[in-house]
Chains A and B, each alone.
Chain A
Amino acid sequence: MPGGDVLELDHLMLEQGGFRLSGHWTANPGERIAVMGPSGSGKSTLLSAIAGFLALQFGAIRWEGRDMDSMAPGQRPVTILFQDQNLFPHLTVAQNLGLGMRSDLRLSPDQRAQVERALERVGLGGLGTRRPAQLSGGQASRAALARALLRARPILLLDEPFAALGPALRQEMLELVGEVAASTGALVILVTHDPDDALSFAERTAFIAEGVVQPPVPTARLMANPPPAVQDYLGRK
């Protein structure tokens, strides 16, 4: 059945400031896909389009067969974590999480309990009353992940949200992402620079080169036997 239970990029064509990006492939629920490519190749552009911040020139993005074109970013089955600014600095951590459930923040006691449980799940139990400025970088990432957990949308987009963290902490975060995604059954698309992150986290990797998002291929195979463009990117002979 065409469409089905998948994210489908159907002859996608994007344009942003004279720069074009195209792609045509599908991804399955619960899958973990890495997106790699040189800087400026359009990794973030792709995620922006899926999240609904960028109108398509041509083609469609479908989820479970439904065209997402007419859906506002907040209505899409998508949670996105940006490189930074994932939390509102003037709200407490608990309020930031609460916004993921009800945008007017009128939470029921049950929902408040859910917020507290989500914080505990990511190791931030009891920190709900803090402001983001009082958190470390790793804790802020955890808070954003806790919100993703609460929202439980079927697609989780990660636009290098852990790029500012050290390797060990980043690895820890990716494991946490894995747990969150496993418990919500979400498809994860992770933009990353680091081949090790891709290898350890993603079954498949989509490489972007010359304005085309290649269909994702098994990460291990891509790294073991990279095509020329990927070789150039990785700096290997």
Chain B
Amino acid sequence: MILAPALTVLLLALVLAPLLAVGWRGAGLSLGPADWVAVRFSLTQALLSAIFSTLLAIPVARALARRRFPGRGLLITLMGAPFLLPAVVAVLGLLAVFGRSGVLNQGLIALGLPPISIYGLQGVVLAHVFLNLPLATRMILQGWLTIPAERIRLAQSLGFGSAQTFRHLEWPMLREVLPGIFLIILVICLTSFAVVLTLGGGPSATTIELAIYQAVRFEFDLARAAGLAGVQVALCALAALVAWALVRPAGFGAGLDRALALDRPGGWRRVLDGLVLCLATAFLLAPLGAVVLRGLPGLADLPPSVLPAAGRSILVALVSAALATTAALTLALASAQPRAPLVEAAATLPLATSGLVLGTGLFLLIQPFAPPMTLALQVTILVNMALSLPYLYRILLPETRALAADYGRLADSLGLTGWARLRWLVLPRLARPLGFGAGIAAALSMGDLGVIALFAGERQATLPLVVSQLTGAYRLEAAASASLLLVVLSFALFWACDAGGRRAGT
């Protein structure tokens, strides 16, 4: 098959060319003191976000692992949702709860206490914990459920108490999974843009990603943007490489249940588990509920910019999801058997970048030939495709490997090749993971605010950008209505792809 090598080269070029452009333009540039403040803030907020998300997830995951209660499955499903929740919506919800006129501050004022501010470091970390705590919880829960049943049985037969169970069963598991989870969240927070755009800002709360945006958008200082992008790539590549090596696939779709349950200590531990679960649920649901409450009344009377933006977002999401799924499938088939290091590199490399880094590079590449604004949507599609590729590849690779192991020889011996193999073997067997992966890619692309902020003018704005602009202009009701639409569309896209895959797969 000629397709896979050609695609590998194309994808490598898509990521490497912008990086080279950034390197070319940014080389020899010395960053100013403000830039180093941004680097420090980036690292600080990412470290704090990763620490809090990971540590707070431990008791939640533990309570979910050892308790059985009505709605447990629903809660676990809910934990999967923030991964697909557009960050602009999360920010808006948090503003409604923790913001200046939010529920929390009104309560504090009523009690005669000073209000707290959601802007700056604490707000950025809060939003990142909100977005990543569920991801960490699910991954740690996965770890809990991989403790072999035999060992749990052994511990129970030896009469282990809670402390001993923790020391001999749970702590070794945590020590194995926590570093990877921590690093993944660190990378996500290093490259986070939408959260910092709204809750950060100012000289003391600017991340590299935000500084790149400001350099391109407001100062039009492309050299400085390139220099910052170089630093960003170095940081991300380092963290992503370590994370990639340490982390096993998160198994989003795997069943999180099994027959043999862990011990369920009663007494105060039971109360504590209940409290932890209630707090976590409230923390996750309150901001979403606030968006719904605020947004519903205005749905009938959306600002005129919203609907066209929604149309553009759907288009971008569908095209980039189709491209990413096709590319990921081609690469995953190519490296199923035997391993193909170059293909693996092409599928993984985007992790070392970020939306704004790729955006800056593409901006530099396009600028000599055309006004970048005219290509805003095309660039967004390409960048979203590249950024979701590593996730999709990771989802599909075990499936293509299993397919090759189970049916590769039979298909070969029947001369099942090319289109016929795709039609009669690959697509029917992999319909489920393909639908699931396409759903993830579509939802991520739908909700992403990154590169589009760099390129778009009025007439190219996507829905997340409109939400972010409305939020920035303190038109919170209208922002909430647009957010509601965005959330519904994101999850509808995910659901449609996923359900389509399930149906085709049966």
Contacts and interface: CB of A to CB of B under 8 A. Distances in A.
B406 A90 contact: no
Interface in A60-109: 72-75, 78-80, 82, 85-86, 88, 90-91, 95, 99-100, 103-105
A53 interface: yes
Question: What range describes how many residues of B lie at the interface?
Answer: 10 to 19
A88 B420 contact: no
Contacts of B407: 85, 88
A73 B429 contact: no
Given A88-B425, A90-B428, A103 B420 contact: yes
A74 B418 CA distance: 13
A88 B407 CA distance: 8
A74 B407 CA distance: 14
Contacts of A86: 410
Nearest to B405: A85
Question: What range describes how many residues of A lie at the interface?
Answer: 20 to 34
B404 to A, nearest CB: 12
Contacts, number: 56
Contacts of A99: 414, 416, 424
Interface in B391-412: 406-407, 409-410, 412
Given A52-B413, A86-B410, A88-B407, 18 more contacts: A52-B412, A72-B412, A72-B415, A73-B409, A73-B412, A73-B415, A74-B412, A74-B414, A74-B415, A78-B413, A88-B424, A90-B429, A91-B428, A95-B424, A103-B416, A103-B417, A103-B420, A103-B421
A73 B413 contact: yes
Contacts of A91: 424, 428
Nearest to A78: B413
Contacts of B415: 72-75, 103
Nearest to B406: A85
The 3 A-B residue pairs with the shortest CB-CB distance, nearest first, are A74-B415, A73-B412, A103-B420
A216 B188 CA distance: 64
Please classify the interface of chain A as helix (H, G, I), strand (E, B), loop, or mixed, using the class held by over half of its residues: loop
B423 A104 contact: yes
Interface in A143-164: none
Contacts of A52: 412-413
Interface in A11-29: none
A88 B410 contact: yes
A65 to B, nearest CB: 22
Given A88-B425, A90-B428, A79 B413 contact: yes
Please classify the interface of chain B as helix (H, G, I), strand (E, B), loop, or mixed, using the class held by over half of its residues: helix
A100 B420 CA distance: 12
Greatest chain A CB density within 10 A among B407, B415, B419, B423 is at B415
Given A88-B407, A90-B429, A105 B424 contact: yes
B409 A82 contact: yes
A74 B410 contact: no
Interface of B: 406-407, 409-410, 412-417, 419-421, 423-425, 428-429
Contacts of B412: 52-53, 72-74
Contact of B409 (A53, A79, A95): A53
A75 B414 CA distance: 8
Contacts of A75: 415
Greatest chain A CB density within 10 A among B407, B413, B417 is at B413
24 contacts: A53-B409, A53-B412, A72-B415, A73-B409, A73-B412, A73-B413, A74-B415, A74-B416, A74-B417, A79-B413, A80-B413, A82-B409, A82-B410, A85-B407, A88-B424, A90-B429, A91-B424, A91-B428, A95-B424, A99-B414, A100-B414, A103-B415, A103-B424, A104-B419
Nearest to B416: A103
A227 B406 CA distance: 38
A126 to B, nearest CB: 23
A32 to B, nearest CB: 20
B121 to A, nearest CB: 53
Contacts of A103: 414-417, 420-421, 424
Nearest to A75: B415
A10 to B, nearest CB: 22
A100 B412 CA distance: 11
A191 to B, nearest CB: 15
Nearest to B419: A104
Contacts of B421: 103
A51 interface: yes
A86 B409 CA distance: 10
Greatest chain B CB density within 10 A among A80, A82, A86, A103 is at A103
